[in-house]
Amino acid sequence: MQTSSNSVKTIIDKRKKEFFDYLRLDSVSTQNRSIEPTVKYVTELISSTGGDFQVLDDLGGNPVVYGFFKAGPKGNADKTVLFYNHYDVQPEDPLDEWETDPFDPTVIDGKLFCRGVTDNKANFILRLYAIEYLMQSEEGLPCNVKFLVEGEEENGSPNLDAYLKKYADLFKSDGCIWEFGGKNEKEQFVIETGVKGMAYFDVFVESADVDIHSSLGAVVDNAAWRLTHALASLRDKHNHVLVDGFYDDIEQPSASAQQAVKEKKVSQDKIAAIYGLKHPFITEQLDWTAEEALAFYPTMTICGLLSGYTDEGTKTVLPRKASAKLDCRLVPGQDPLKIEQLLRQHLDKNGFADVKLDLLKGSKAFRSDIDHPFVQTVKESAEEVYGTSSEVVLSPTNPGTGPMFSFGEHLGIPVASSGCGHAEGKAHAPNESIRLTDFEQGTHHMVEFLKKFKDA
Amino acid sequence: MQTSSNSVKTIIDKRKKEFFDYLRLDSVSTQNRSIEPTVKYVTELISSTGGDFQVLDDLGGNPVVYGFFKAGPKGNADKTVLFYNHYDVQPEDPLDEWETDPFDPTVIDGKLFCRGVTDNKANFILRLYAIEYLMQSEEGLPCNVKFLVEGEEENGSPNLDAYLKKYADLFKSDGCIWEFGGKNEKEQFVIETGVKGMAYFDVFVESADVDIHSSLGAVVDNAAWRLTHALASLRDKHNHVLVDGFYDDIEQPSASAQQAVKEKKVSQDKIAAIYGLKHPFITEQLDWTAEEALAFYPTMTICGLLSGYTDEGTKTVLPRKASAKLDCRLVPGQDPLKIEQLLRQHLDKNGFADVKLDLLKGSKAFRSDIDHPFVQTVKESAEEVYGTSSEVVLSPTNPGTGPMFSFGEHLGIPVASSGCGHAEGKAHAPNESIRLTDFEQGTHHMVEFLKKFKDA
């Protein structure tokens, strides 16, 4: 049975204002903005779709919303899928690079622009639409659906593990559809079944109590130089991390994971065009392919640098302090706390004991078994919506990060992604967007998946 | 004949409002603030003291004010001293570190706080007071006094050389008293007879047209890393510049300059206490002493760093651009244009052809002959005010920078400093100040100097 396009469209049109109002909430978790009204709004969206909810907030952090939709009378109440989403979004800066107001959803040429639309408010909305469509259909909702909608994903989900551990029974299910997902730069629909972990650091160094006239640079050390040399000692310019032990604990991926990655060709040309890259892929300097690097190897990234005078013109000053944001994407086997230790040891050993390191967030990587029936059901239903298997790709590890490890650890379930993202969606950057056609297709995928999953 | 303290004090008290109104003008040249009213005010100050003035603006840049006070009937009209000052000031940021309003002159415990007070509005004012005092005295003004008050010193004096060249006859004189001067951390009165030069660069690198989700760090290069590695390649962490040829053109200082520097002991402990230094002097790692480094060796300083996300918390982004401010203090023999070439060659040779380098300001160093009678007159008159010769020190090269080279080149005169600065004056930093006792002593020094200079 094919999904009726008309009915899905009807729901999309009918609930557009609700969707746009959700996008208007500037729920930037790292800046603690609009969390309370957004939680309330998430519960209203679940209610208005016909589900029950609970707001969990007894373990600290931003509240976690639990949602529940019971299988219809003709459905299979023994099967439960868990939808994982987050209601928080990244900060919108740099503001001057947005072509629209970051929190005013704006449609231009079939694209909907707004901070948080692709990451990941649209995915939450389209899952509700799929449920509404099925509840209105003759067959009813084919299985139980649970939601876990958290509000600290963009901040490294520091409290989610505790909620999943305590509420493991509440969230018990047979598999989890991840918060993100969508199409790559070759317009293939990619199903991610793993994520990288993360160790995100504030790096800070201080050289004096006050800024000093730079003439004293002949004798006085300078925080900006200390930081520059400390950072340069951590990773060479060919992208090799120089910290002893950094690569030691990496787990070998399974044979089928390696095979899947080998089949998944990344197009350097297309990615370069999308982002306007000024340099070739750094993997050209390394022993592994771009595909392997994205799936199986850790990264170390400077996300920010700040020291001294940064305005127009000149100011001759020895900056008294300097700071950097450092983000390591980890792979299975690596532990963020151990990575912190290794970096600390490296800095101490190399004469940078004065350079402070503060682990702001840490999470472990996760990889599902891609041969698991749940994963295969996600794939087969995607093929019905997106075309033949050549256009649907299984990806063992997404290069991004999420708290997938906790779902595997506490619920013991596989995870697979489905969403309406596209390669130019600019998650975490100005002019974030989704394409409306992808939004509709994504809704169809969730409808087909739920129908198939009932009997998987 | 000793200066009458009472009369100097009377002038200081009487003209206090004029002085404070001058300080209130936020004449930040690098941001083009309040230049016109400040020029007007400088001419009014000269007029109200009884001098003539011309405003020179035919060669571009902020106007240069020429002032002239003729020797009295009993004075020696064959002798002319040139006072060099500037009416512009450094930017006042970081604002949150000021304990007073940066442009509201405030006296606390005998110190006067204001942006620009020590660098160098107070020195201009006290020279006018010395002239007024002498004009009112029985002897009258002992010699001719000229002023050159420019408005781009804090911006590297990009146009001063042209004005000095064209107006060499107008500014013709027998010696120049420099804009800065004062006491060091050991309360010695230091007479500077040279300055370092400067090559100040914007360093800029771009890696993409947009900021990118940092998960792509596995394959995509990042402007912050490019900048970090490029900067780290320029200077090692022990303060040795690694650019080929950087040290090649340095001129050997004269024997008397070397001797003077040997006698001038820098107190690391006192400097460390004043600024709250967190590291020992970098000269501990080098082949030269702190005194030699300050006088005779060039520096390379990162004055600022900016890239990507720099607020609280975390943002996982590959910054598309990164920039630094780089300040090299040069010594006699080094040419800023050649330094620019050498840095460019170094970057190109080390794989950083994409890292852009923009010379924002360049000036050559200068050293007067410290045995010149003009310099000796400044020293002898200082000894009368500040005590025995052990408390007055000749310094062949100040570690700071100024356009002294152009005075030597176009006027062919020696230069020596005298001013009311103190070691904790925080030039270029928040809470800039002078001590009111130094201000009064500085006025006395100029009175005694002018009297001695008449017959030197």
Instruction: Identify whether residues B381 and B437 lie together within a single domain.
Output: yes
Q: What are B306's strand-pairing partners?
A: A306, B323
Between chain A and chain B, how many beta carbons pairs sit less than 8 Å apart?
344
CB of A192 closer than 8 Å to CB of A395: yes
Partners of B315 on chain A (C-beta within 8 Å) are 30, 90-91, 303-304, 325, 428
- Asked whether residue A182 is assigned to any structural domain, the reply reads yes
Nearest-by-Cβ selection for A306 from B93, B219, B306: B306
- Is pLDDT at A238 greater than 90 in this prediction? no
Instruction: Identify whether residues A33 and A59 lie together within a single domain.
Output: yes
Nearest-by-Cβ selection for A213 from B97, B318, B428: B428
pLDDT of residue A412: 95
Residue where a domain terminates, one of A309, A331, A363: A363
pLDDT of residue B294: 93
Partners of B219 on chain A (C-beta within 8 Å) are 266, 268, 271, 281-283, 290, 293-294
Instruction: Identify whether residues B71 and B181 lie together within a single domain.
Output: yes
Cα–Cα distance for residue pair A64/A153, rounded to 1 Å: 11
CB of B134 closer than 8 Å to CB of B11: no
CB of A427 closer than 8 Å to CB of A113: no
User: A44-48, A153-157, A188-192, A320-324: which has the minimum mean pLDDT?
Assistant: A153-157
3-state secondary structure chain A: CCCCHHHHHHHHHHCHHHHHHHHHCCCEHHHCCCHHHHHHHHHHHHHHHCCEEEEECCCCCCCEEEEEECCCCCCEEEEEEEEEEECCECCCCCHHHCCCCCCCCEEECCEEECCCHHHHHHHHHHHHHHHHHHHHCCCCCCEEEEEEEECCHHHCCCCHHHHHHHCCCCCCCCEEEECCCEECCCCCEEEECEEEEEEEEEEEEECCCCCEEHHHHHCCCCHHHHHHHHHHHHECCCCCECCCCCCCCCCCCCHHHHHHHHHCCCCHHHHHHHHCCCCCCHHHHCCCCHHHHHHHCCCCEEEEEEEECCCCCCCCEECCEEEEEEEEEECCCCCHHHHHHHHHHHHHHCCCCCCEEEEEEEECCEECCCCCHHHHHHHHHHHHHHCCHHHEEEECCEEEECCHHHHHHHHCCCEEECCCECCCCCCCCCCCEEEHHHHHHHHHHHHHHHHHHCCC
State the average pLDDT for chain A. 94
Close Cβ partners of B115 (under 8 Å, ≥ 6 residues apart): B26, B89, B90, B92, B102, B103, B432
pLDDT band (50, 70, 90) for residue B407: very high
Question: Hey, of A35, A200, A214, which one would you mutate to test binding to chain B, going by the most B CBs within 10 A of its CB?
Answer: A214
The predicted-structure confidence for A139-176, as pLDDT tens digits, reads as follows 999 999 999 999 999 988 889 999 999 999 999 999 99
Residue where a domain terminates, one of B343, B363, B383: B363
Tell me if residue B236 falls in helix, strand or coil: coil
- Asked whether residue A201 is assigned to any structural domain, the reply reads yes
Instruction: Identify whether residues A211 and A350 lie together within a single domain.
Output: yes
pLDDT of residue B1: 45
Partners of A198 on chain B (C-beta within 8 Å) are 316
Instruction: Identify whether residues A202 and A125 lie together within a single domain.
Output: no
Residue A185 C-alpha, separation from nearest chain B C-alpha, in angstroms = 13
Instruction: Identify whether residues A339 and A417 lie together within a single domain.
Output: no
pLDDT of residue A456: 83
Burial environment of residue A412 by CB neighbours within 10 A (0 to 12, 13 to 18, 19 or more): exposed
pLDDT band (50, 70, 90) for residue B2: low
* Mean pLDDT value across residues B412-437: 95
- The domain spanning residue B137 has which CATH number? 3.40.630.10
Instruction: Identify whether residues A214 and A84 lie together within a single domain.
Output: no
pLDDT of residue A239: 86
- Is pLDDT at B264 greater than 90 in this prediction? no
* Mean pLDDT value across residues A284-306: 92
Cα–Cα distance for residue pair A265/A280, rounded to 1 Å: 16
Instruction: Identify whether residues A137 and A175 lie together within a single domain.
Output: yes
The predicted-structure confidence for A196-228, as pLDDT tens digits, reads as follows 999 999 999 999 999 998 999 999 999 999 999
pLDDT of residue B5: 66
CB contact under 8 A, A213 and B429: yes
Close Cβ partners of A338 (under 8 Å, ≥ 6 residues apart): A245, A249
pLDDT of residue A428: 87
Q: What are A317's strand-pairing partners?
A: A213
pLDDT of residue A1: 45
Cα–Cα distance for residue pair B172/B103, rounded to 1 Å: 35
Tell me if residue B298 falls in helix, strand or coil: coil
- Asked whether residue A73 is assigned to any structural domain, the reply reads yes
CA distances from B293 to A283, A302, B146, B261, B281 (A): 43, 33, 34, 10, 11
Instruction: Identify whether residues A98 and A233 lie together within a single domain.
Output: no
Residue where a domain terminates, one of B346, B363, B380: B363
Tell me if residue B154 falls in helix, strand or coil: helix
Total domains present in chain B: 2
pLDDT of residue A402: 83
Domain encompassing residue B171: 5-193+368-453
- The domain spanning residue A305 has which CATH number? 3.30.70.360
Instruction: Identify whether residues B299 and B150 lie together within a single domain.
Output: no
The b/e string for B117-149 (b: 16+ C-beta within 10 A; e otherwise) is bbbbbbbbbbbbbbbbbbbebeeebbbbbbbbb
- Asked whether residue A276 is assigned to any structural domain, the reply reads no
- Chain B: residue whose CA lies nearest to A289: B219
Residue B433 C-alpha, separation from nearest chain A C-alpha, in angstroms = 14
The predicted-structure confidence for B331-388, as pLDDT tens digits, reads as follows 999 999 999 999 999 999 999 999 999 999 888 999 999 999 999 999 999 999 998 6
Please state the ipTM of this predicted complex.
0.79
CA distances from B46 to A310, B38, B43, B189 (A): 36, 12, 5, 27
Instruction: Identify whether residues A24 and A145 lie together within a single domain.
Output: yes
Instruction: Identify whether residues B380 and B349 lie together within a single domain.
Output: no
pLDDT of residue B42: 98
- Asked whether residue A64 is assigned to any structural domain, the reply reads yes
CB of A220 closer than 8 Å to CB of A176: no
pLDDT of residue B390: 53
Close Cβ partners of B109 (under 8 Å, ≥ 6 residues apart): none
Give me B414's structure tokens. 């020696």
Residue A444 C-alpha, separation from nearest chain B C-alpha, in angstroms = 27
Cα–Cα distance for residue pair A432/B219, rounded to 1 Å: 21
Closest CA to B362 of B161, B168, B119: B161
Residue A360 C-alpha, separation from nearest chain B C-alpha, in angstroms = 7
pLDDT band (50, 70, 90) for residue B4: low
Pairing mode, if any, of strands B76-86 and A111-113?
Answer: unpaired
